[in-house]
Chains A and B, each alone.
Chain A
């Protein structure tokens, strides 16, 4: 059932509409569980589009297995998605920094408010992000330490490669996930793949993981699968950030999603004008190369890679 949750008229003969697709059983009671799948807050991140499609397809094919309410919101920033624009077009603002919003704010704040009001009351929510266009990411769930106790066990149901528990940062209180977690909806943020692209295998893996989570929560009837591949990082210090120390063109040496050894070359920053290597980037530890730079042009400071140090990661 397609429902409109927000409408606003645009200046020249167009209406901006936020839509969701609701799947639900015949009978709804107060104990019926509800999950919201949200994506596209960043208009240049498309990995979630494929996940929404796969979930919708499964639900269309198995209506008899639907025991709870599943709301799918594929496009929280409709103009952004249709124009390769990360933020809310015209206002040039990151919607994921203005939650919970309010009706008295500027338009992007009203949109954020409409999203919150619409998702509010869900037992669970999953906010699917791709990485931006600069970085390629292994599928991962990011959880603020504040909510780790309840959210880590939930995230494990997704059978995802990696759960990253990070420190609570004040500025992240203006994200969708923080707003929803504060309102009592257990909300997971998934990051995977790269901006402007779809990685089919990641989409398939995550949609299976979400079906599994829904099965565990009694939202669908399906044999829960056994999940075992999650590596949990509970401390920030397990994750090493590698940034460029000079400007140039980054060319990777290692593939994404491999174990890098301490001192091994991850890539080089080259100078196309001079025809020389400006910086050779080495791994600071043994560990999983879960983030690698996709976009070649770098400045000093540009993030090149992130590595989950091996011996410190708790294997589960």
Chain B
């Protein structure tokens, strides 16, 4: 393992923000894979995943110098400043680094961070972003691929996760690192999991296993792995969105990953002042809960659950 300083950003009163990377295997060997950790400072699950992948590879490489056959670069996070103050976005102007790609080296601070990160990560065969959802939900671990000419569902199956979300490209996606990696011919994936601001060790462990499985199946590491899931392809159309009709205290009865039946109660909403029951949210279809609203107070018309509907098209 080689520890590298990818780049550094100075601050008026704080110590410099040093963005570190860890390199494994043989420089320029193929296939190569880059794994980039979270750019929002509350994605603790993803920081856990990235750091534990570094730990795993470091230990395996110590045991067996030929363990990594290709090349792997891991950048656990490019936004240590926000992690250190419990903030999601860039501390100064609250901008999201992951809407600044491919970056601009003469632009604003976060455009420069994006440019430096992109320059160091854009020439790998496979590129994986560890991402937390930006809305207030907890979700099952899944692979997100953007629908472009370069995207490849079959590669995504090698993670062995239950769900692969095939997302159409919205304008905002064109400035994400995932999209820009693809433009530069990498096969790129986002792995999304967990819940902001907390550590879900079991779900995070599944993601760590998934990435190790992927690295193994792609011949990047010399390691035997268990078979994973074949991967159900999910699109916008196959997800049922369940909204709250009332606002108040939100008591979730069903959890992410649960297989729920048509008509099953999923959550209750109570008046936040007098405790009267305002709504019992019931499942409109049979399927698996992929996302659940994760805060105990809920707005009216908020998305309370997303369910992958059971159908034969997977």
Q: Which of A's residues lie within 8 Å of B, judged by CB?
A: 8-13, 16, 86-87, 90-93, 97-98, 104-107, 110, 132, 134, 170-174, 241, 243, 246-249, 273, 297-303
Are A300 and B172 also in contact (CB < 8 A) when A9-B299, A9-B300, A11-B298 are? no
Is residue B174 contacting chain A, with contact meaning CB distance below 8 A? yes
Q: Are B272 and A13 in contact (CB under 8 A)?
A: yes
- Contact of A243 with B107 in the complex, beta carbons under 8 Å: yes
B residues less than 8 Å from A8 (CB atoms):
247, 299-301
Of B68-76, B108-116, B148-156, the one with at least 4 CB within 8 A of chain A: B108-116
Contact of B273 among A13, A97, A300 (CB under 8 A): A13
Partner-A contacts on B (CB < 8 A): 9-13, 88-89, 92-94, 99, 106-112, 134-136, 170-172, 174-175, 241, 246-250, 272-273, 297-303
Across the interface, which residues of B come within 8 angstroms of A104, CB to CB? 241
* Cβ-defined contact, B93 with A132, below 8 A: yes
Contact with B108, one of A106, A173, A302 (Cβ below 8 angstroms): A302
Task: From known contacts A11-B248, A110-B301, A174-B171, infer whether A300 and B9 are also in contact, taking CB-CB under 8 Å.
Answer: yes
- Among A107, A243, A302, contact of B302 (Cβ-Cβ < 8 Å): A107
Question: A248-B12, A302-B108 given. 7 additional CB < 8 A pairs?
Answer: A13-B272, A90-B299, A107-B301, A107-B302, A132-B93, A170-B171, A300-B9
- Report the nearest A residue to B137, measured CB to CB: A106
Complex contact A301–B136 (CB within 8 A): no
20 A–B contacts from the bound complex (CB under 8 Å): A8-B247, A10-B247, A11-B299, A12-B272, A13-B272, A16-B299, A86-B94, A91-B136, A134-B93, A172-B171, A173-B171, A174-B172, A241-B106, A241-B107, A247-B10, A297-B12, A300-B9, A300-B10, A302-B108, A303-B108
A247-B12 in contact given A11-B297, A174-B172 (Cβ < 8 Å): yes
| Chain A residues positioned under 8 Å from B297 (CB to CB) | 11-12
Provide the residues of chain B in CB contact with A174, threshold 8 Å.
170-172
**Given A12-B297, A170-B171, A247-B11, A300:B134 Cβ within 8 A:** no
Shortest Cβ distance from residue B218 to the other chain A in the assembled complex, whole angstroms: 31
Which residues of chain B are near A301, meaning CB under 8 Å? 107-112
Q: How close is B186's CB to chain A, nearest CB, in angstroms?
A: 20
Q: In the bound complex, do residue A11 and residue B174 qualify as a contact, i.e. CB atoms below 8 Å apart? A: no
CB distance from B81 to the nearest CB of A (A): 10
Question: What are the 9 tightest A-B residue pairs by CB atom distance, in nearest-first order?
Answer: A301-B109, A9-B247, A9-B300, A11-B297, A173-B171, A299-B109, A12-B272, A301-B112, A170-B174
B93 and A11 form a contact (CB under 8 A): no
Question: Which of B93, B111, B136, B298: most chain A Cβ within 10 A?
Answer: B93
CB <8 Å contact, A302 and B106:
no
Interface of B is mostly: loop
A8 to B10, CA, bound (A): 43
Complex interface: chain B residues within 8 A of A299 (CB) = 9-12, 92, 109
Q: Select one of B11, B112, B135, B247 contacting A91, CB under 8 A.
A: B135
B residues within 8 A CB of A13?
A: 272-273
- The chain A residue with its CB closest to the CB of B246 is A9
Bound-complex Cα distance A174 to B170 (A): 9
Q: CA A65 – CA B44 in complex, angstroms?
A: 60
Could you tell me the distance in whole angstroms from the C-beta of B65 to the nearest C-beta in chain A? 39
Cβ contacts under 8 Å, A134 to chain B: 93
Neighbouring B residues of A300 by C-beta, 8 Å: 9-10, 109, 112
Known: A93-B134, A173-B171, A301-B108. A10 touches B299 (CB 8 A): yes
Taking the nearest CB of chain A, how far is it from the CB of B197, in angstroms? 12
Contacts of B298 in A (CB 8 A): 11
The chain B residue sitting closest to A297, CB to CB, is B12
**Distance (Å) between the CB of B49 and the closest chain A CB?**
23
The residue that B12 contacts in the complex, of A90, A93, A249, with Cβ under 8 A, is A249
What residue in chain B is nearest A174 (Cβ atoms)?
A: B171
Which residues does chain B contribute within 8 Å of A110, judged by CB atoms?
301
**Which residues of B lie under 8 Å from residue A10 when comparing CB positions?**
247, 299-300
* Docked-complex contact A171 and B112, CB < 8 angstroms: no
Inter-chain contacts of B299 with A (CB < 8 A): 8-11, 16, 90, 107
- How far, in angstroms, from A3 to B170 measured CA to CA in the complex? 32
Contact A302 B92 (CB under 8 A): yes
Residue of A nearest to B247 (CB): A9
Q: Name the one of A16, A92, A241 contacting B88, with C-beta atoms under 8 angstroms.
A: A92
| Chain A residue nearest to B295 in the complex (CB) | A90
Q: Which residues of B have CB within 8 Å of A97? A: 99, 172
* CB of A30, distance to nearest CB on chain B (Å): 34
Q: Given A11-B272, A11-B297, A174-B170, are A106 and B11 also a contact pair (CB < 8 Å)?
A: no
Could you say which residues of chain B place their CB within 8 Å of the CB of A92?
88-89, 94
Chain A residue nearest to B273 in the complex (CB):
A13
Q: Are A171 and B241 in contact (CB under 8 A)?
A: no
Least distance between B222 CB and chain A CB atoms (Å): 42
Scoring A11, A93, A171, A249 by chain B CB atoms within 10 A of each residue's CB, the highest score goes to: A11
A246 pairs with B247, CB closer than 8 A = no
Q: How far is the CA of A107 from the CA of B172 in the complex (A)?
A: 17
B171 and A302 form a contact (CB under 8 A): no
Contacts A132-B93, A174-B172, A301-B108 given: A246-B301 contact, CB under 8 Å? Answer: no
Q: Is the CB of B302 within 8 A of A106?
A: yes
Closest to B40 in A: A92
